[in-house]
Amino acid sequence: MGFFKDFKEDFNDALDEMTCAEETPNEEVMVNTLDGDIDVESELNKLDGLLEQVTKKVETPVAAKPEAVASVEPQEEKKSFFDTKKETKMEAPRTMDVMGNVAENKTQASDENAVITAGMKITGNVESIGSIEVQGEIIGDVTCNGKLVITGKVNGNSQSSEFFADAAKIEGEVVTSGTAKVGVGSVIIGNITATSAVIAGAVKGDIDVNGPVVVDTSAVVMGNIKSRSVQINNGAVIEGFCSQSYADVDVNSVFNI
């Protein structure tokens, strides 16, 4: 009986030792899992690094897009630059037109009216974009875009859009793009070129007019008259030839038999 009792005690002790042995590995496993958790954190850190690399890789295309946009923006700037050139090219003709208009405005009469008073004497050429009234004396050429009125003396050629002489003394050629009127008491020594003319004074020179010419009763003309039509009033004196070469009638065809 003592033998079995001792065996039972030894067997119980062996079971206890085996139970302890089983519990000890379980505790070691728990410790290892904790160590594994630490490793997971390191792995997570590694993943974070990888995520940062991935985000960098993702950001690089995103950064490339702004670079592409940046590369596009200079192109847009170039386009805008060329567009400005085109605009300047478009504006460049607009500036020439404006200058052309200014040049045309020079040929048009302005509202200015220059008066050479009776007590003035000018030696030299006179030019104006407006009208000129000469009451005094000018020794030189007179040019204006407006009307030229002479009641004094002019020793030189004149050019204007309209011409009127009243008791004037003129020695020089008279050219006008409009009507030339020579009043009573005026004396002109020189040719007259105009689109129409009314002669009531004395003219020594040829009269070349594309339109009609009226020679009044007080007129004295020493020169040829070339015009579209001529009206000679009773009392006028003309020493020269009258030709209606600007008329619409074909004179030669009239005499074809």
Give the pLDDT confidence of 71-123 residue by residue, as tens digits: 445 555 545 444 544 443 434 334 344 334 444 444 676 889 999 999 999 99
| Mean pLDDT across 188-209 | 97
Q: Higher model confidence: residue 52 or residue 9?
A: 9
DSSP string, 18-56: HHHHHHHHHHHHHHHHHHHHHHHHHHHHHHHHHHHHHHH
Is it the case that residue 59 has pLDDT exceeding 70?
no
pTM higher than the cut 0.85: no
C-beta separation of 242 from 222 below 8 A: no
In this structure, the strands spanning 220-222 and 237-239 are parallel
Q: Higher model confidence: residue 248 or residue 192?
A: 192
* Structural Rg of the chain based on CA atoms: 57
97 Rama class: left (phi>0) / alpha (psi -120 to 50) / beta? alpha
Q: Higher model confidence: residue 67 or residue 194?
A: 194
End-to-end CA distance of the chain: 185
Which contacts (CB < 8 Å, 24+ apart) does range 111-116 have? 112/146, 113/146, 114/144, 116/152
214-253 pLDDT, tens per residue? 999 999 999 999 999 999 999 999 999 999 999 988 878 8
- Amino acid 170: pLDDT: 98
